Amino acid sequence: MRDPRMSHSRAEREERARRARAHAHLARVRAGRTTRAAGGAARRRLAVAAPSTRGLAAGALAVALGSGFASGDAFLATAAAFTGSPGAVEVIAVRGARHLSADEVARATGVSRGTPLAGIEIDAVVDQLEDHDWIAAARALRLPGGAVVVHVEESRPLALVEIDGPGMLFAVDAEGRPFAPADGDAFAELPRLVPDGSVTPREASGTLATALRIAQRLAEHGLAQPRSIAVPAEDDPEGFTLQLRDRDARIVLGRDDLDTRIGNLAQLLSARSDEVDRAREVDLRFADQVVLREKSTRKGSAQATGSRGRADRSEKRPSG
């Protein structure tokens, strides 16, 4: 039978050994902090990558990114228990930016270098970011070692529209909302929307959204994005009109059954007809045929073609 006193002594020895290892680890951490503090300002700027915190910060960042930044403050509190303090902001790491630069996103946080991490309110940082015209949604996370990580989702520009005079262009999102001023040269590939009337910045517009759906349907049929889409007034009988990039002809779509008319346009252009090439205007508002108005014809004259070739001139009124 084993002597209880010997078992008790072994347990005490193991406990003393564990305490010794813990003290040794703490001493190494303190020595590492002392060495970094003596390194001067240049060394302090790299504290986020210092050996004693690099593994902890990297692991926290990986888990945080996988969990949607939901546990940022929990990571900060856990790290503080080991390092003594969450520290101050040394770097703002930016993810997800495309149009905006990392510096622009960092400035939009409202956080400056040297701000105590413990004093940063993450909700306030997110609100600051989402107030920016180009940022649709944002997340933020504080990490030990002086890092603030932000992930932004930018609004996606699908077209440009002119507001308040020549040259004042705004990017337009899928809801038809002119959400931010934009450089036309930077987005030369996007169609220009030309509204018949005023447009209010940062407010969604149903007619602008319809124009964007027209551009989307053109792409689905394998056609290039139009150079411009005229957005009609309510009483305009022509409705929506297009100017394609590779055609001089003006395309008249009307207002009704736009999906069918865009499909008819795709078929017409794929036929590579000489008549289509010569046309100055292609009118798709007629239910059973396409009306081509040629460049060479006198004013007011027109020729009409049906889906199976040339047809007599149509006397029907457009359907809208």
Quick: pLDDT tens for 246-287.
Answer: 888 999 999 999 999 999 999 998 887 788 888 899 999 987
pLDDT the model gives residue 19: 53
**pLDDT range class, residue 318, cuts 50, 70, 90:** low
**What string of H, E and C letters represents the secondary structure of the chain?**
CCCHHHHHHHHHHHHHHHHHHHHHHHHHHHHHHHHHHCCHHHHHCCHHHCHHHHHHHHHHHHHHHHCCCCCHHHHHHHHHHHHCCCCECCEEEEECCCCCCHHHHHHHCCCCCCCEHHHCCHHHHHHHHHCCCCEEEEEEEEECCCEEEEEEEECCCCEEEECCCCCCEEEECCCCCEEEECCCCCCCCCCEEEECCCCCCCCCCHHHHHHHHHHHHHHHCCCCCCCEEEECCCCCCCEEEEECCCCCCEEEEECCCHHHHHHHHHHHHHCCCHHHHHEEEEECCCCCEEEEEECCCCCCCCEEEECCEECCCCCCCCCC
Q: Which residue has the higher pLDDT, 235 or 287?
A: 235
When pLDDT is averaged across residues 104-113 and rounded to a whole number, the result is 93
Q: What is the pLDDT of residue 242?
A: 95
Q: Which residue has the tokens 């210092």?
A: 50
Amino acid at 124: A
- Which of 39-53, 66-80, 285-299 is least confident? 39-53
Poorest-pLDDT segment among 65-69, 102-106, 257-261: 65-69
Higher pLDDT, 30 or 147: 147
The answer on pLDDT for 131 being more than 90 is: yes
What is the pLDDT, as a whole number, of residue 94? 94
